[in-house]
């Protein structure tokens, strides 16, 4: 039978792992190997995907993929790891406070060598938390697999000549997703002086799998056992000395979140880098294990390719493992001749025959058997951790069969309600009052000082009016980000991905796409960047092209302004209506894409579900600060410039004389050319067209430009009908994202797609706005 047929709560033992290529390798790397015990935790509310537990951690899997895994039901997978033997070990002299390595008198690298470190570890193991501790930097931390999408560099606090790089989380050195490739290439090509391998001890088996591959890289490694606080808090412990002896590298227990053990870690890292202490052990294959088939194969291949590996500058043992696994990238780099390729194939076939497993499974199994030995002798597993027990209880509701979707809708509804009606709105009121008061003061000061009329106009009607109106939306944007970051940080978004996978799959996406899409409600730029965690190019492209349909917070000022002015009684209704409309159109477009541009299936959904964690106040505050700073910078750069330029263009004519009536201005003439295009939408006024054009710079400036332009003629309200306002709302909802967003699309997908996004979005917006106008006039809205 297959894993798909196992009921929730039951356990099974893996017999064979089907499938092919990178996905199968990924399964193996995640520890799904013949002989492993797997417990089915639960099925998602819509019946797909399934959550399984193996090696003490939780993973999601689609039923189609579970169907490829042949299993045999067993009674239960109780971990038989009892108390590890507490022998007094002759250790290698590593890891003891201050007493380092035997080679203390060796030849260190010259004093002024730049010590470069790579921070490598699984997703969610605490890399970014540690990076922030080490460098004092303020990177965003999240409890969702794949929050770090770009590498970041920083110097270690108080240590001269050090650079540490925070890499995306990876599970293995086989390239599965594009971010895994980033990390692998960094380690292989940039050859850091040392690797800090961060290991989540609460999840040690899976984390050590990566460690074993790092040890093969022939680069000094120090292992940081993170989350020690959770481990010891629940009665677990690690015999660090024994582990050091078995792995042959320094092992330092730390808690990145509590800043414990971090200093010691830095000492070790600098030491191993300075003295270039390579891992003392790389040979983890056991000659007694299954008659040593894997052992003999590995060593034979090592000898076979040794010269090629040296020539290609790839660590030989790593190259051998990858060559056996059939990693074509590495095999190509090795430049083996036909004869050697055949020999490699023969050796591998022989091993498969003797071992009774295929090549990839055999290598993965070799690594996991060693890890099992390490854990048996040095790790006392905690009882079910409080965090995990709590997570399961919370999950009963948040991913429960009947509760998951109502809770999701409720949570998102609450976020919007609190943002637009309660917290954000109140703060906004306060800020507006403040800005008005300030404008009044400056206005009278300018008048009493008898300042030139043009300058007065520029300052009060241009800058204060324009920037002020944008600024007053800061509270709403910050509140929105605050809630999104709480959800992400706590681990809820990962559950949303699990729950929504089946639905998103109907659109040709995977559950993972939900994260970039949700971030898109905040800002399209980080949303586009977040798609880098998606393992398939196809999903990534499609998700990027759909993010503009998630209405970003910068468009809020537009909605708020028009809804306030034209539909004060239906505020919430129209706001929600707009969001729903954009999502519906997004869905239609996704279905269209699925049939045309992006045929084929979404990638498999293999994702870890982290424990729920209380978001730390520090991280949250930091994020808020960053978002506010970002917004303020935009307000005082792009938007300020846009406002001033627009004010001048509308105050001057082509001979640079001040105009009496802005009809005669430069701006009116330019916008007048385009205006006919907008006439069918009821938006043929050159001032509206101008504001939309400036919205391409930054959406916030649509409102400020309108305020500036309409000021002289008694405001926007008298100049527009309600129906035109509605059509304008829909147009702004859908038309091209701002320059910054388009630039990030360009960076991810290139020129052509960026241009495509601009044109395509404008076209859709135009059609939708026209429909709204037609339907509206049929319904008799004026
Ligand atoms: P990354 O994906 O490896 O960069 O991991 P992050 O740094 O984003 O951390 C993932 C989660 O683990 C966050 O919720 C952190 O607050 C939490 N975390 C990190 N270090 C520790 C630790 O030492 N103890 C505990 N209890 N939690 C931690
Ligand atoms: Mg990170």
536-562: pLDDT as tens digits: 778 889 999 999 999 988 898 899 888
What is this structure's pTM?
Answer: 0.78
Q: Which two tokens stand for residue 337?
A: 């001749």
Name the residue among 732, 725, 729, 728 with its Cα closest to residue 762.
732
Ligand 1 pocket residue status of 148, Cβ below 6 Å: yes
- Report in angstroms the alpha-carbon separations of 385 from 11, 191, 390: 21, 38, 8
The set of residues, in sequence order, having a beta carbon less than 8 Å from that of 499 and lying 6+ positions away, is 44, 45, 46, 399, 404, 405, 408, 511
Helix, strand, coil percent content, the chain, rounded in steps of 5? 60, 10, 30
Mean pLDDT comparison of 154-158, 251-255, 535-539, 692-696, highest-scoring range: 251-255
Ligand 1 pocket residue status of 226, Cβ below 6 Å: yes
The Cα 389–Cα 400 span in angstroms is 16
Ligand 1 pocket residue status of 17, Cβ below 6 Å: no
Ligand 1 pocket residue status of 262, Cβ below 6 Å: no
Ligand 1 pocket residue status of 124, Cβ below 6 Å: yes
pLDDT digits (tens, 9 = 90+) for 704-735: 878 877 875 457 777 888 899 999 999 999 99
pLDDT digits (tens, 9 = 90+) for 118-135: 999 998 888 888 998 898
**Backbone φ and ψ of 388, nearest 5°:** -70, -45
pLDDT at 691 over 80: yes
The set of residues, in sequence order, having a beta carbon less than 8 Å from that of 608 and lying 6+ positions away, is 57, 58, 59, 60, 123, 124, 145, 494
pLDDT at 93 over 60: no
Confidence (pLDDT) at 694: 80
Task: Tell me how far the alpha carbon of residue 128 lies from the centroid of ligand 2, in angstroms.
Answer: 4
Ligand 1 pocket residue status of 197, Cβ below 6 Å: no
Among 146-150, 606-610, 704-708, 761-765, name the one with the lowest average pLDDT.
Answer: 146-150
Whether residue 504 contacts residue 62, with contact meaning beta carbons closer than 8 Å, is answered with no
Work out the average pLDDT over 107-119.
87
The set of residues, in sequence order, having a beta carbon less than 8 Å from that of 635 and lying 6+ positions away, is 467, 470, 471, 474, 700
Count CB neighbours of 595 within 10 A. 10
The Cα 380–Cα 237 span in angstroms is 5
Q: What is the mean pLDDT of the chain?
A: 84
The set of residues, in sequence order, having a beta carbon less than 8 Å from that of 361 and lying 6+ positions away, is 17, 28, 33, 34
The Cα 300–Cα 306 span in angstroms is 10
Task: Tell me how far the alpha carbon of residue 141 lies from the centroid of ligand 2, in angstroms.
Answer: 6
Site to probe by mutation for ligand 1, drawn from 123, 141, 146 as the one with most ligand atoms within 8 Å of Cβ, is: 141
Work out the average pLDDT over 678-682.
90
Class of residue 439 by CB neighbours under 10 A (exposed 0-12, middle 13-18, buried 19+): middle
Confidence (pLDDT) at 151: 64
Confidence (pLDDT) at 588: 93
Among 333-337, 394-398, 628-632, name the one with the lowest average pLDDT.
Answer: 628-632
> Positive or negative, the Cα torsion across 375, 380, 383, 387?
negative
| Alpha helices per DSSP H over 217-358 | 228-233, 240-247, 262-274, 293-312, 316-325, 328-334, 338-355
pLDDT at 150 over 70: no
Class of residue 339 by CB neighbours under 10 A (exposed 0-12, middle 13-18, buried 19+): exposed
pLDDT at 774 over 90: yes
The Cα 434–Cα 538 span in angstroms is 48
More confident residue, 600 or 149: 600
* Atom 9 of ligand 1, residue of closest alpha carbon: 126
Show the CA angle centred on residue 124, arms to residues 511 and 407, nearest 5°.
Answer: 45
- Report in angstroms the alpha-carbon separations of 775 from 350, 368, 772: 72, 64, 5
Ligand 1 pocket residue status of 616, Cβ below 6 Å: yes
**Backbone φ and ψ of 39, nearest 5°:** -110, 130
Of the bound ligands, which one is closest to the alpha carbon of residue 144?
1
Ligand 1 pocket residue status of 142, Cβ below 6 Å: yes
Site to probe by mutation for ligand 1, drawn from 118, 123, 129, 382 as the one with most ligand atoms within 8 Å of Cβ, is: 129
More confident residue, 452 or 121: 121
The full DSSP string for 480-491 is HHHHHHHHHHHT
Work out the average pLDDT over 604-632.
77
Ligand 1 pocket residue status of 139, Cβ below 6 Å: no
Q: For residue 644, what is the enclosing H or E element?
A: helix 640-651
Confidence of residue 322 (pLDDT cuts 50, 70, 90): very high
Confidence of residue 634 (pLDDT cuts 50, 70, 90): low
pLDDT at 670 over 60: yes
Task: For residue 141, give the 3-state DSSP assignment.
Answer: coil
The Cα 328–Cα 54 span in angstroms is 29
pLDDT digits (tens, 9 = 90+) for 493-520: 888 888 888 888 888 888 888 878 887 8
Confidence (pLDDT) at 760: 94
pLDDT at 289 over 70: yes
* Atom 17 of ligand 1, residue of closest alpha carbon: 126
pLDDT at 87 over 60: no
More confident residue, 95 or 733: 733
Mean pLDDT comparison of 387-391, 621-625, 661-665, highest-scoring range: 387-391
Beta bridge partners of 154: 164
The set of residues, in sequence order, having a beta carbon less than 8 Å from that of 764 and lying 6+ positions away, is 585, 589, 734
Q: For residue 402, what is the enclosing H or E element?
A: none
Work out the average pLDDT over 245-272.
91
The Cα 358–Cα 94 span in angstroms is 37
Among 55-64, 483-492, 618-627, name the one with the lowest average pLDDT.
Answer: 618-627
Whether residue 365 contacts residue 34, with contact meaning beta carbons closer than 8 Å, is answered with yes
Task: Tell me how far the alpha carbon of residue 581 lies from the centroid of ligand 1, in angstroms.
Answer: 37
The Cα 376–Cα 364 span in angstroms is 18
Q: What percent of the chain has pLDDT over 90?
A: 30
Task: Tell me how far the alpha carbon of residue 168 lies from the centroid of ligand 2, in angstroms.
Answer: 6
CA 408 to chain centre: 20
Ligand 1 pocket residue status of 256, Cβ below 6 Å: yes
Of the bound ligands, which one is closest to the alpha carbon of residue 120?
1
Ligand 1 pocket residue status of 493, Cβ below 6 Å: no
pLDDT at 305 over 60: yes
pLDDT digits (tens, 9 = 90+) for 7-35: 988 999 999 998 877 788 888 888 898 88
């Amino acid at each position: 039978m297959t894993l798909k047929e196992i009921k929730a709560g039951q356990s099974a033992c893996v017999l064979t792992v089907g499938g092919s290529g990178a996905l199968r390798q990924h399964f193996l790397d995640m520890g799904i190997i013949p002989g492993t015990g797997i417990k089915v935790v639960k099925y998602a509310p819509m019946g797909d995907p399934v959550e399984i537990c193996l090696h003490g951690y939780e993973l999601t899997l689609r039923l189609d993929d579970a169907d490829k895994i042949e299993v045999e039901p067993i009674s239960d997978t109780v971990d038989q790891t009892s108390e590890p033997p507490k022998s007094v070990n002759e250790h290698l002299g590593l890891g003891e406070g201050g007493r380092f390595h035997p080679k203390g008198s060796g030849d260190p690298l010259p004093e002024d060598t730049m010590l470069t470190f790579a921070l490598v570890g699984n997703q969610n193991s605490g890399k970014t938390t540690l990076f922030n501790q080490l460098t004092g930097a303020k990177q965003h931390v999240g409890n969702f697999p794949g929050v770090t999408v770009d590498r970041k560099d920083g110097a270690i606090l108080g240590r001269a000549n050090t650079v540490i790089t925070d890499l995306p989380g990876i599970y293995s050195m086989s390239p599965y997703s594009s971010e895994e490739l980033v990390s692998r290439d960094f380690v292989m090509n940039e050859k850091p002086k040392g690797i800090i391998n961060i290991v989540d001890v609460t999840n040690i088996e899976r984390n050590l799998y990566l460690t074993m591959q790092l040890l093969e890289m022939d680069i000094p490694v120090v292992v940081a056992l993170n989350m020690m606080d959770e481990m010891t808090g629940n009665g677990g412990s690690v015999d660090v000395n024994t582990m050091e002896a078995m792995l042959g590298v320094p092992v330092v227990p730390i808690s990145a979140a509590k800043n414990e053990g971090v200093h010691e870690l830095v000492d070790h890292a600098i030491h191993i880098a300075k003295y270039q202490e390579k891992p003392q052990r790389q040979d983890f294959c056991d000659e007694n294990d299954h008659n040593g088939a894997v052992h003999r194969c590995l060593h034979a291949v090592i000898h076979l390719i040794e010269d090629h590996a040296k020539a290609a500058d790839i660590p030989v043992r790593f190259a051998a493992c990858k060559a056996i696994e059939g990693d074509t990238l590495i095999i190509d780099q090795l430049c083996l001749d036909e004869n050697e390729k055949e020999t490699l194939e023969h050796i591998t076939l022989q091993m498969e025959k003797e071992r009774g497993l295929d090549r990839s499974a055999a290598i993965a199994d070799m690594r996991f058997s060693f890890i099992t030995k390490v854990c048996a002798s040095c790790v006392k597993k905690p009882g079910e951790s409080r965090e995990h027990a709590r997570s399961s209880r919370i999950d009963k509701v948040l991913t429960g069969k009947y509760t998951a979707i109502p809770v999701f809708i409720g949570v998102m509804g609450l976020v919007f309600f609190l943002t637009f009606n309660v917290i954000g709105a109140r703060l906004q009121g306060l800020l507006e009052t403040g800005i008005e008061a300030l404008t009044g003061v400056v206005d009278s000061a300018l008048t009493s000082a008898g300042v030139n009329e043009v300058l007065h106009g520029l300052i009060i009607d241009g800058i204060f009016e324009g920037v002020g109106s944008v600024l007053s939306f800061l509270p709403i944007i910050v509140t929105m980000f605050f809630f999104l970051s709480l959800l992400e940080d706590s681990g809820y978004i990962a559950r949303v991905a699990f729950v929504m996978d089946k639905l998103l799959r109907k659109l040709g996406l995977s559950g993972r796409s939900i994260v970039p899409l949700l971030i898109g409600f905040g800002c399209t730029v980080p949303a586009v960047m977040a798609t880098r965690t998606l393992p398939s190019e196809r999903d990534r492209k499609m998700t990027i092209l759909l993010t503009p349909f998630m209405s970003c917070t910068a468009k809020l000022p537009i909605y708020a302004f028009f809804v306030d002015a034209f539909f004060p009684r239906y505020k919430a209704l129209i706001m929600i209506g707009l969001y729903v409309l954009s999502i519906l159109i997004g869905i239609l477009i996704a279905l269209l894409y699925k049939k045309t541009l992006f045929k084929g299936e979404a990638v498999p959904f293999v994702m870890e579900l982290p424990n729920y964690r209380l978001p730390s106040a520090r991280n949250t505050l930091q994020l808020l600060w960053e978002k506010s700073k970002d917004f303020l910078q935009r307000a005082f750069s792009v938007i300020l410039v846009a406002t001033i330029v627009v004010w001048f263009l509308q105050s001057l004519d082509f001979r640079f004389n001040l105009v009496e009536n802005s009809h005669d201005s430069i701006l009116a003439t330019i916008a007048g050319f385009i205006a006919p295009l907008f006439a069918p939408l009821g938006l043929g006024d050159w001032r509206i067209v101008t504001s939309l054009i400036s919205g391409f710079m930054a959406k916030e400036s649509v409102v400020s430009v309108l305020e500036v332009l309409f000021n002289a003629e008694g405001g926007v309200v008298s100049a527009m009908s309600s129906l035109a306002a509605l059509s304008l709302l829909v147009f702004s909802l859908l038309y091209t994202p701002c320059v910054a967003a388009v630039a990030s699309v360009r960076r991810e997908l290139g020129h052509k797609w960026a241009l495509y996004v601009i044109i395509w979005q404008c076209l859709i917006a135009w059609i939708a706005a026209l429909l709204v106008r037609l339907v509206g006039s049929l319904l008799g809205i004026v």
